[in-house]
Structure 1
């Protein structure tokens, strides 16, 4: 596929870490297309490899409904990725006008939780969620996640030696869960992405980040020790405030067990709002629904038992996959 963009129409959309997102029109059709390129003046060798990993990973995420690149290229001497055609705009563009109206927020939040849930069902984490990682169509309330970093496979068994690379860049740190900072002896899991969603939801409802500082050390301290102001102080109904604060719990065990469970609570709030026209206080998270299997990292000295449990779970998962993929000829189905 040739690079078919009118370079005279190229305009920047936003910058996110080491990359810049641009939009331009196709030469033949005039359709708007987006591409991402590395910032000028960087050491391209290691970062180019990261972009290529992202491009290769796109082939494995066809079922996740995430926005992925379809072509690797070079723009103005910098490695770049051309993304699939998409409607709408980055969520970050909509946030510039201030806090979202409650019904609109709930619809968009449900869309975001659904997009993350689909990604997690492919056994991958995002670990870089923010308003820059979502495209939304306000008219249809549709949200689609951008697969903006190389994949992070989900494991069900705690591995103490597998810890994340610490996040120290300020823009990324605003949305980083405590376990991503390198100061907590915890590896990330799907609940790490829920923390980032909580930060994003907080900003959508209040117009502000819950933790703000230009000093990295102070921001790290806030992520660990400071509780955000309840959103009720911004005239947000208590149930919605409680949902967001549950996402922002310091310890993963106190967050929602999955994006599926988060979406379930958001849908309950939206239904109550649409039926009654308002939200009275009620207790959230009572149904205990989840589509993720997690073993606590607080289990020590039971490595053999944990391994046996993990293998049993993997065997059951393969059996379910085989029965769905090729029910008539199970021996021909590929393992997950």
Structure 2
């Protein structure tokens, strides 16, 4: 288990290719926190800069549909992001029990689309909308949602990507818009998030993806 000054670590709750996610408590006030730690022992300067940018983008959003950040600290040779913990569950975890009912889906869809619209109003593209990056909280019998993981986010602009190797694309391939793959002569803008959200909504309703393949090139 890691040891971060000022925090007591309770458990590891998630591991991705680039980061480790822990649940813990802040020692000063016993406040529950989530800690996102860079996974590599020696992150590159580019990875450090990307992590800092993720922190800055998330911090400046200051929206109810985005987790509040408490700080960015150095940890060993990398960085750790400290944020609020609301005991939320990802939609991907919820989907393990089956698709949502129609009434639950409609409530979720309206609230999630509203959050994404608010993010776009602050000139930010997420670029990795999928059920793992949307979490749900049920505090008083009504769903609340948060969009998480702005690791690929950029300030809203028009991006024209080059043709890319499908094995090193940025994003989660089954949810990526065609223009994100670089195989369409079309700029990437906020609509790519809505494409990914549409795929997410389809999965919430049906319990499966609209396009399924183990071959990355076929999905592209």
Q: TM-score, normalised by structure 2?
A: 0.82
CA distance in 2, matches of 1:81, 1:129: 20
- CA shift in 2, pair 1:173/1:84, >3 Å: same
- Aligned partner of 1:143 among 142, 145, 156: 145
1:190 pairs with 2:170: no
SS at match of 1:109: helix
1:135–1:146 CA contact under 8 A, matched in 2: yes
1:35 partner SS: strand
Deviation track 1:129-169 (CA, whole Å, cap 9, x = no partner) reads: 112222211332111112522542334xxx6xx41364644
Q: Give yes or no for contact 1:64–1:122 (8 Å, CA) kept in 2.
A: no
Number of residue equivalences? 212
Aligned residue in 2 for 1:178 = 178
Q: Is the partner of 2:195 in helix, strand or coil?
A: helix
Deviation at residue 12 of structure 1 after TM alignment: 2.3
Q: Are 1:64 and 1:118, in contact at CA under 8 Å, matched by a contact in 2?
A: no
Higher relative contact order at CA 8 Å, sep ≥6: structure 1 or structure 2?
A: 2
Larger-gyration structure (1/2): 1
Name 2:11's counterpart in structure 1.
Answer: 10
CA distance in 1, matches of 2:111, 2:5: 31
Aligned to 1:293: none
Larger relative helix fraction: 1
Shift of 1:40: 3.3
Query: Greater strand percent: which structure?
Result: 2
- The alignment status of 1:39 with 2:36, answered yes or no, reads no
Corresponding residue for 2:161?
Answer: 164
Say which SS state the counterpart of residue 53 (structure 2) adopts: helix
TM-score by length of 1: 0.56
Whether the aligned pair in 2 keeps the contact of 1:22 and 1:36 (CA below 8 Å) is yes
| Uncovered stretches (5+) of structure 2, i.e. residues with no partner | none
Q: Residues 74, 131 of structure 1: CA spacing in aligned structure 2 closer, same or farther, 3 A cutoff?
A: farther
Q: Which residue is 1:153 aligned to?
A: 155
Counterparts of 1:220-259 in structure 2, within 5 Å, are 220=220
Q: What SS does structure 1 have at the residue aligned with 2:82?
A: strand
The 5 Å alignment of 1:1-336 reads 3-7=5-9, 9-15=10-16, 17-27=17-27, 30-40=30-40, 43-63=43-63, 65-75=65-75, 77-138=77-138, 139-149=141-151, 151-155=153-157, 162-164=159-161, 166=164, 168-169=167-168, 172-220=172-220
- Helix, strand or coil: the match of 1:49? helix
How many angstroms does 1:41 deviate by? 5.5
Structure-2 separation of matches of 1:173 and 1:146: 18
